[in-house]
Structure 1
Amino acid sequence: MITLLVGNDTEAIKRELTSLKAQTHPVWRDFNVHRFSSEQLSTAMMSALSVPLGEGSKLIIVEGCDFKQFGEMGLEILQPLSMLPKTTHLVFIATSIDKRLKVSKHLLSLGKLKEFNLIPPWRTDLIEQAIANTAKQMQLTIARDAVSYLAQAIGNDTTRMVKELEKLAVYAAGKRITKEQAILLIPTTTSNSLQLAQALLEGKTIEIVRIVGELRSRAEFPLVIVATLITQFKTWLWVKAANAAKRSEEEIASLCGLGNPKRMYFLRQEVKEVSINYLSRALSMLFELEVELKSGEKADSILPALLRICLF
């Protein structure tokens, strides 16, 4: 069997690997589970093509794949994949995959693709769903308003989500977790990019300085921060423009790519006192900032750029 685990949700990929390891024979696991870097592709293939030691199956993991780096030589190394023993599970791990590459097409023709991407931080509905599903897997019962609170407190950080839910499970001891208990055990002490977008929308310069400082202290990537700001301002601009054109909530939600039309009420309230001119100008300046960062501009430039948006 061949599986491609692709995406930037490292926690989800880690859990998937744990599940795959559990499928190997416990006595022979140390002998039949092997991890290789993408530079060791040839060695990984030799190991994959050999039969497992003792009983059970063999799990071969190739990490840090880009697929582009494999090239023609890598494609040649991977040709024997069709002869992979039924007792071997070969897993490739990558943050992304270009399906147009010959190597990618070859792997996808023989294996299965599983994608694990972080939920966008503004999709609170999907974050709530992920928290509820993970809690259910842990046999942890959480009140609905507690789930909503956790989505705000944790965001799309799946690693933290698992740790915090494990903490709640120990505390709950089989009982239902209320919102009050969730607030007590998991306080919201960190800011995120969506809070920064809101401060930028309202022109709160002191708040912008504080949040940017906090995000940078946590080593948040500037490009990720700016990407979130761009998406949020783009949504606000579409809502404002579509609202001016007197579109229905369903039409505006579809235009903005919102999975939950009920969110429209809150978005309309957020941009009620903001002009289209400000939103479009801010979005243009955010795009300029993104280009500068991609061109090698230092991360320290993000704060002055955001303050300029407030001042124009």
Structure 2
Amino acid sequence: MPAYYFWGDDDFALQTAVHDLRQRTLNEDWASFNYDVIPADAANGPAEALNQAMTPPFGQGQRLVWLVNTGLGQRCPEPVLAEFERTLPKIPDTTVLLLTSVAKPDGRAKFTKFFKTWGEVREFATIPPWKTDQIHQQVAAVASDRGMALEAGTVDLLTEAVGNNTRQLHLELEKLALYWGTNPQPIPPAAAAELVTVSTQTSLKLAQALKQGDTSTALGLVSDLLDRNEPALRMVATLVSQFRLWLWLKVLAGVASDAEVAAAAEIANPKRIYFLKQEVRSLSLAQLQQSLPLLLELESDLKQGRDERAILQTKVIELCRVFKPGSL
């Protein structure tokens, strides 16, 4: 297929896919002649990309034309759309046209509908950290793509260790591959535990500390996360999703089946509901109802530009007081 649209905020995964596409497309001896990278701010960038795409490659291999960080998936002027409609079906097999963007292309837009007819759209969005099922599947899939066999416990360990950080996942798998060498046996958890860097500072662990009313641990996790340049708003998004999930579980307890609870809470595997219910067994509905307004206040304060560390510490203390044993 001569045209691709890669989008998503997982920069490492997206750039890896671009590199793989480049390796498959270009002959390295002729790459300097046949590789065109057009930045988003280039004058008439889309038109230049289409013109280059229609140019035959020089020497051996194909031509790769990359329109970087385009906004065509969100807004495409009519003249540009008309140019794509005229040119894209005629791009020769000797050329690969690549468009990339952080933002998701609008599925209702004419440009997106047309591009899907003649090209392929691939998603490289970061998996939300609370969707552990998807992260688990990603770990297994990446290991499989690298030809690595992992025991189930090793997949679990990597899921806990790297979370949704695909860059770290590839680094850890590379270490494991070098260590295990040509051994045909699946890599056991014990071997992986000796090498894999396990980060204990995650937003999900912060949620657990808040739920337990453990102020000192929660404050320590906030400091560690900020020191590791974890975006404060991303931390809050994880906390909001986790506490909303716990609230759903508490509200629906005893009045809905596990399958119904899973559907309402957007949990892919209903079998997880039993274990999630154990997490909220000691919590009251009133505590969970109090938590969300505090988290939304925190989000609002951060968006207004207030000091991240100070406001996070303040709200963490308030949340821990809500969940402190015997508070309600």
The two structures have a TM-score, normalised by structure 2, of 0.87
Offset of residue 171 of structure 1:
0.1
Given the alignment of the two structures, is residue 151 of structure 1 paired with residue 152 of structure 2, yes or no?
no
RMSD: 2.1
Q: Work out whether residues 58 and 88 of structure 1, in 8 Å CA contact, stay in contact via their aligned partners in 2.
A: yes
Task: Return the match for 1:128 from 116, 122, 136.
Answer: 136
Query: 2:139, 2:159 within 8 Å by CA — same for their partners in 1?
Result: yes
CA contact (8 A) 1:5 1:115 kept: yes
Residue 214 of structure 1 corresponds to: 224
The superposition leaves residues 5-41 of structure 1 with CA deviations (integer Å, 9 ceiling, x where unpaired) of: 0111222212221221122242323321222211221
After superposition, where does 1:198-237 map in structure 2 within 5 Å? 198-237=208-247
Distance 1:94 1:25, change over 3 A: closer
Q: Tell me, which stretches of 5 or more residues in structure 1 are unaligned?
A: none
SS of the residue aligned with 1:56? coil
- Over 3 Å counting, the alpha-carbon distance change for 1:38 and 1:78 in structure 2 is farther
- Look up the SS of the partner of 1:65 in the other structure: coil
Q: 2:178 aligns with which of 137, 160, 170?
A: 170
Distance, in Å, in 1 between the alignment partners of 2:55 and 2:122 is 25
- Paired residue type of 1:252: V
Show CA shifts across 1:232-257 (max 9, x none): 11110111111143x22222122211
Please tell me whether the aligned partners of residues 219 and 316 of structure 2 are also in contact (alpha carbons under 8 angstroms).
no
Judging changes above 3 Å, is the alpha-carbon distance between structure 1 residues 142 and 243 closer, same or farther for their aligned structure 2 residues?
A: same
Q: Distance in 2 between matches of 1:154 and 1:48?
A: 39
The aligned counterpart of 2:22 is: 21
Alignment of 1:1-312 (within 5 A): 1-26=2-27, 27-40=29-42, 41=45, 42-67=47-72, 68=74, 71=77, 74-75=80-81, 78=84, 80-96=87-103, 97-175=105-183, 176-245=186-255, 247-300=256-309, 301-312=311-322
Alpha-carbon distance in 2 for matches of 1:174, 1:139? 11
SS of equivalent to 1:92: strand
How far apart are 1:74 and its partner, in Å? 4.6
Farther off after superposition, 141-150 or 44-53: 44-53
Question: Residue 167 of structure 2 aligns to a residue in which SS?
Answer: helix
Q: Is the 8 A contact 2:25 2:96 kept in 1?
A: no
Match of 1:38, SS state, is coil
**How far apart are 1:279 and its partner, in Å?**
0.6
SS where residue 25 of structure 2 aligns? coil
How many residues get paired?
311
Letter in 2 for 1:34: D
CA 1:102 to 1:249, structure 2 compared with 1: closer, same or farther past 3 Å? closer
* Moved beyond 6 Å, runs of 4+: none
CA gap of 1:254–1:70, structure 2 versus 1, over 3 A, is closer
TM superposition shift of 1:99: 3.2
1:46 positional shift? 2.8
Letter in structure 2 aligned against 1:260: N
Q: Is the 8 A contact 1:200 1:310 kept in 2?
A: yes
* Runs of 5+ unmatched residues, structure 2: 323-328
The letter for the 1-side match of 2:227 is S
- Matched-pair identity in %: 33
Q: Secondary structure at the match of 1:230?
A: helix
CA contact (8 A) 1:71 1:103 kept: no
SS in 1 for 2:210: helix
Give the SS at the match of 1:28. Answer: helix
Deviations 1:106-136 (A, max 9, x none): 5344422111222221222222221122112
Amino acid at match of 1:50: T
TM-score by length of 1: 0.92
Q: Which amino acid aligns with 1:37?
A: P
Conservation of the 8 A alpha-carbon contact between 1:193 and 1:225: yes
The answer as to whether partners of 1:140 and 1:174 remain within 8 angstroms in 2 is: no
Quick check: 2:148–2:177 contact (8 Å CA) kept in 1? yes
Provide the rounded CA distance (Å) in 1 between the counterparts of 2:83 and 2:219: 52
SS in 2 for 1:64: coil
Confirm or deny: 8 A CA contact 2:262 2:268 kept in the other structure: yes
Query: Partner amino acid for 1:153?
Result: A
Which whole-Å deviations, capped at 9, do the CAs of 1:154-177 have from their partners, x for residues lacking one? 111001101100100000012232
Shift of 1:186: 1.1
